[in-house]
Chains A and B, each alone.
Chain A
Amino acid sequence: MSTTVSAIIDRRESKDGTPSITYRYAGDRGVLVEYGEMAFDLTLNFFMLGVEAALSENRPEGVVETAPGFRSILVMYDPNVLAVSDLVDHLRGVHDSLQDEHAMTIPSRVVHMPIAFDDSTSRDAVERYIRTIRKDAPNAEGGTNIDYIVRYNGFSDREELYGAVLASQQWSAFMGFFPGLPFMFPLDPRETIFVPKYNPTRTWTAEGAVGVGGPCIAIYPVESAGGYQLFGRTIPIYDIRQRNSVFRESPLFMRPGDRIQFHRVEEDELLQAFEDVRADRYRYRIEDSPFDVGAFLDWLPTIADEAEERRVRREAAAAATPVP
């Protein structure tokens, strides 16, 4: 019987305006580095992006690759080349050398995407889930996840939910899951939607499905399993066959740092756009527009009261709603 070892390798408390840092084992070939506490705070994401950039310039031998999260970085390494203690020492040095994220300008694009709310493939995914995985999930009542999202957030109806999705640009904080999936968070905290994830997860989701889990909105790039509550569908964001010119440079369309603006369309229009993408007739609307972190951080306090009011309403509704 071996002695129990903590999953936490080391922790540094928050100091001089920088977040706390927690180093955790992720198996014998990975270390997960977390910034700050479990809070929806975009400054943690900007801090992470700063670390990623610094680490890419100063990567010790034995680091195989790094993979961001909203407020974390997973560092994969070869333990035959680099001891975990040396890796953590190196990361401490990188963290200490960072500049203030206030001064950052992040390369960014505004990307316009059509969305059809309550589309037939999302309803199909929920119906399959009820049939094959779980019959009594509160988030799947009525064969849709939408009414559950509405209830959990205290919206008066579906239209109020759709309005919140459309009212804010969505910040692509990092990529992962399956090829090219953007993990997106509302830049306007007043428009935050949050919801528990599936329990257990789905085994099928359509390509292009749009869902929400926690405060994060995602577009499913391929048919796959999934855990987010589905509310609509958009056009392809991944194509290894590069059938549309937008995929010519890379089969992955989205990038970290993109700001996604959804525009409402009907489902038949969306299906036509899907076809047009494949036939290279559809042109994605993209504007280059660097993101000024300082200006954003200065704007946040001006809407803080309103954001707080909405948070209180949201959390009261959530507390009265069953969790899957």
Chain B
Amino acid sequence: MTTAEIIEGGLQTTVQDYPGRRGMLSKGFFPAGPMDHLAHRAANLLVGNPESAATLEITLGNFRMRFDDEATLAVCGAEAPLTIGDEDAGLWESHRVAPGAEVSIGIAPVRGFRLYLAVSGGFDVPELFGSRATYTMGALGGYEGRPLQQGDRVPVGQANGDAAGRRFGKDAIPAHTREWEVRAMRGPQSAPDFFTEADMGTLFGRDWSVDRNSNRTGIRLESHKFEWARSSGGIAGGHPSNILDNSYPVGAINVNGDLPVILGPDGPTAGGFVVAATVIHADFWKIGQFRPVGDTVRFREVSIDEAIEAERELSATLTESTLESI
């Protein structure tokens, strides 16, 4: 079997597939999978893989690897310098890589936080509970349940024909920013029964700073004294953010006391805090690109119909028709 050797693993590089590990919520496993599903899916599309195929999620950059055999790869996501052998190479493009040539990703200097490296044939680590995704909180899946380190040899699957020399259409490449706008639907615990309408106006009406304690389990924002519709959580606890424990959806804007946290793909499946609103799937990819410290997010309220339409628009960009020959 052909493999890829890790020369430098960087801050945190994990194997991720899409949509991750389903059917395990009731046992306490969030699905894991790429934090930016858009960049993951685009990278797979470029190298001729199904969008489910396993890629490497590289946090911030500072990553180096080489392939035993000739390979076709694409890197999508945060704006970071990519070199293959001695040549500079573009993101959002598919490239042929000679056997043994070093693939190197520098640090993303300004915008975006995660990059996705797809290889034609996908990274062929074993499936666990139906997925190859690394779930950091359970120390399982991916490559031995952990981030990649120097010297690891990651198996590579059988390549899918010749997919080198293509690029993702310029108009379809998502814009990265330091001031994000993310669409969300109110609920499950919203106004008028848990928050006041004024609280919902605050949630959707201001910029929230991204806290340094953010990772794949969640994006912590900043504390805010909401008005709250209830004076207390009663039996569930004296703070009005407290409820009798229930399950959470991925992308939940979970208010822990006074602190809103967006639950990430490795986050808690359940707990006893209200969820004021939920990030829609079409915009969930953005939270994977938030830079802890410095980035801000503003939420924009949408209805379920708008959320479904947004997903349709996003999926339409993730098709062969978006690709151009270089």
Determine if B138 and A199 form an interchain contact, defined as CB atoms under 8 angstroms apart.
Answer: no
How far apart sit A74 and B189, CA to CA, in the bound complex (Å)?
A: 13
Name the interface residues of B275-293: CB closer than 8 Å to any CB of A.
275, 278-282
In the assembled complex, how far is the CB of residue B25 from the closest CB belonging to chain A, in whole angstroms? Answer: 4
Candidates A2, A69, A225; contact of B303 at CB < 8 Å: A2
Stretch at the interface among A3-11, A116-124, A268-276: A3-11
Report A-chain residues with C-beta under 8 Å of the C-beta of B256: 197-201, 227
How far apart sit A324 and B303, CA to CA, in the bound complex (Å)?
A: 34
Report B-chain residues with C-beta under 8 Å of the C-beta of A71: 244, 246
Q: Known: A74-B247, A197-B257. Is A213-B237 also a contact (CB below 8 A)?
A: yes
How far apart sit A24 and B233, CA to CA, in the bound complex (Å)?
A: 19
Q: Known: A213-B272, A323-B232. Is A26-B187 also a contact (CB below 8 A)?
A: yes
Interface size on B, residues (CB 8 A): 73
A216 at the interface (CB under 8 A from B): yes
Report A-chain residues with C-beta under 8 Å of the C-beta of B213: 203
Q: Known: A38-B234, A74-B25, A74-B247. Is A7-B257 also a contact (CB below 8 A)?
A: no
Determine if B239 and A199 form an interchain contact, defined as CB atoms under 8 angstroms apart.
Answer: yes
Q: Known: A4-B301, A5-B303, A197-B242. Is A214-B26 also a contact (CB below 8 A)?
A: no
Name the interface residues of B138-175: CB closer than 8 Å to any CB of A.
138-140, 145
Determine if B238 and A323 form an interchain contact, defined as CB atoms under 8 angstroms apart.
Answer: yes
A222 at the interface (CB under 8 A from B): yes
Determine if A29 and B249 form an interchain contact, defined as CB atoms under 8 angstroms apart.
Answer: yes
How far apart sit A76 and B304, CA to CA, in the bound complex (Å)?
A: 14
Stretch at the interface among B69-77, B91-99, B305-313: B305-313
B243 at the interface (CB under 8 A from A): yes
B324 at the interface (CB under 8 A from A): no
Report B-chain residues with C-beta under 8 Å of the C-beta of A68: 26, 247
B13 at the interface (CB under 8 A from A): no
B residues sitting closer than 8 Å to A (CB atoms) are 22-29, 137-140, 145, 184-191, 193, 200, 213, 217-218, 220, 223, 232-239, 241-252, 256-259, 261, 268-273, 275, 278-282, 301-304, 306-308, 311
> Can you give 26 A-B contacts (C-beta < 8 A)?
A2-B306, A4-B186, A24-B188, A25-B304, A26-B188, A27-B250, A27-B251, A27-B279, A38-B243, A40-B244, A65-B22, A68-B247, A176-B247, A177-B268, A177-B269, A178-B137, A180-B28, A181-B28, A197-B242, A197-B256, A213-B272, A215-B244, A224-B217, A227-B256, A318-B238, A323-B239
